[in-house]
């Protein structure tokens, strides 16, 4: 990776993943132009200023909103690289999925990349996409041994898996705008479910939800047989830097360390933290999940039918060629749950 200092714009600088990206950029001596909706909100940005004080790089924060088409021109001025991480990552608590998820993701990507088209210095864009742009449901694995970068999510819609739909629609929009010009190239980083310690406790990323539910006993009676591709937030951030500065990088990169079921997560946590915590010990039978799941959380029967009991696998070989050396999910969960205890989000229990 080039050590030459560059000016790099990072959208959604206050976010969980962006925090680690900015830390690594500052440590490598780069100049970061971060965008946030509210640069005066100390609880969201204080950690970024602290990191900048302790690192050789420098940081400037700008106010920008995904739905404000003109707000990205000023922060992009003089940047060579753009990392577009901002996008709503919420799975519940909204009534209109289009307004909460799809419109900000797609229109936001369009606004940010139209600004990229107006910025003469910009050479490369790294988009934080997701495995959600690669598949919709576990049933999409039919006939495959693993998902690869050639797969696209064709099963989601605003009514079925709207978050997944927001990600695939935003990534498709990004490739469309990329194909209409020739100055900048596009790399997408497509992570699975991201775990690992956060540099901010102000992020509303949905990533922490499962750990809180497990630690607080919400899932004590059992978990559905759901499998995720899991990856460490620090590895995801490193992939953004490799995607930005490795001249050979091109196209999409799936970022998944291992596929783990919810029960695997519980087992790994129990092994590290002990049985005094109410981590689940068994799977809930699919018919019971189908019957009661929609009353317990933001899942539909269609999601349950198409995902519970379907193992999924990802081929991460392209990301290894890019230079990623994955942390184990066990270490990632240990570091993340330790932070959850440290922050008092789950009460520490002694054996």
- For the record, the structure tokens of 94 come out as 């909204």
How far apart, in whole angstroms, are the C-alpha atoms of residue 223 and residue 63?
41
How far apart, in whole angstroms, are the C-alpha atoms of residue 140 and residue 168?
15
Q: Which of residues 138-167 bind ligand NAP (CB under 6 A)?
A: 167
Q: How many CB atoms lie within 10 A of CB 222?
A: 17
Q: How many residues sit close enough to ligand NAP to count as binding (CB under 6 A)?
A: 28
Which one-letter DSSP state was computed for residue 70? T
Which one-letter DSSP state was computed for residue 146? S
Q: Is 256 in the site for ligand NAP (CB under 6 A)?
A: no
167 is annotated as an active-site residue: yes
Q: Are 44 and 36 in contact (CB under 8 A)?
A: yes
Please report how the helices 16-27 and 42-53 are oriented relative to each other, as an axis angle in degrees rounded to 10. 20
Contact code string over 215-254 relative to ligand NAP, x by CB under 6 A: ----------------------------------------
- Choice from 161, 203, 307, 316 touching ligand NAP (CB under 6 A): 203
Residues whose CB is less than 8 angstroms from the CB of residue 319 and which lie 6 or more positions away in sequence, other chains included: 239, 253, 254, 255
- Choice from 66, 113, 227, 324 touching ligand NAP (CB under 6 A): 66
Q: Which stretch binds ligand NAP (CB under 6 A): 49-57, 59-67, 177-185, 288-296?
A: 59-67
How far apart, in whole angstroms, are the C-alpha atoms of residue 70 and residue 136?
33
Q: Which of residues 72-101 bind ligand NAP (CB under 6 A)?
A: 85-89
Contact code string over 279-318 relative to ligand NAP, x by CB under 6 A: ----------------------------------------
Active site residues: 167
Binding site for ligand NAP (CB under 6 A): 12, 14-18, 36-37, 44, 65-67, 85-89, 104, 128, 130, 167, 191, 193-194, 203-205, 207
């Amino acid at each position: 990776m080039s050590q030459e200092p560059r000016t790099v714009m990072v959208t959604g600088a206050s976010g969980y993943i962006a925090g680690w990206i900015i830390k690594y950029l500052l440590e490598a001596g780069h100049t970061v132009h971060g965008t946030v909706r509210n640069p005066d909100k100390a609880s969201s940005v204080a950690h970024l200023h602290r990191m900048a004080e302790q690192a050789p790089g420098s940081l400037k924060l700008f106010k920008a909103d995904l739905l404000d088409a003109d707000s990205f021109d000023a922060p992009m001025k003089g940047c060579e690289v753009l990392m577009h991480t901002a996008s709503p990552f919420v799975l519940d608590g909204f009534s209109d999925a289009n307004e909460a998820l799809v419109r900000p993701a797609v229109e936001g990507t369009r606004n940010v990349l139209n600004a990229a088209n107006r910025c003469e210095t910009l050479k490369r864009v790294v988009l934080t996409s997701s495995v959600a742009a690669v598949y919709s449901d576990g049933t999409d694995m039919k006939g495959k041994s693993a998902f690869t970068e050639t797969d696209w999510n064709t099963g989601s819609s605003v009514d079925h898996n709207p978050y997944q739909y927001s990600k695939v629609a935003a990534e498709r929009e990004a490739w469309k705008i990329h194909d209409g010009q020739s100055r900048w190239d596009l790399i997408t980083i497509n992570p699975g479910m991201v775990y690992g310690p956060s540099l901010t406790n102000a992020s509303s990323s949905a990533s922490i939800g499962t750990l809180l539910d497990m630690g607080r006993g919400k899932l004590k009676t059992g978990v559905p047989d759901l499998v995720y591709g899991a990856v460490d937030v620090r590895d995801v951030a490193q992939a953004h830097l490799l995607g930005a500065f490795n001249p050979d990088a091109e196209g999409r990169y799936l970022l998944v360390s291992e596929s783990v079921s919810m029960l695997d997560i519980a087992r790994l946590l129990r092994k590290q933290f002990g049985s005094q915590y109410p981590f689940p010990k068994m799977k809930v039978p699919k018919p019971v999940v189908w019957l009661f799941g929609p009353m317990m959380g933001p899942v539909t029967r269609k999601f349950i039918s198409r995902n519970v009991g379907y193992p999924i696998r990802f081929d991460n070989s392209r990301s290894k060629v890019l230079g990623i050396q994955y942390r184990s999910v066990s270490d990632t969960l240990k570091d993340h749950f330790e932070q959850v205890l440290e922050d008092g989000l789950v009460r520490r229990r002694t054996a």
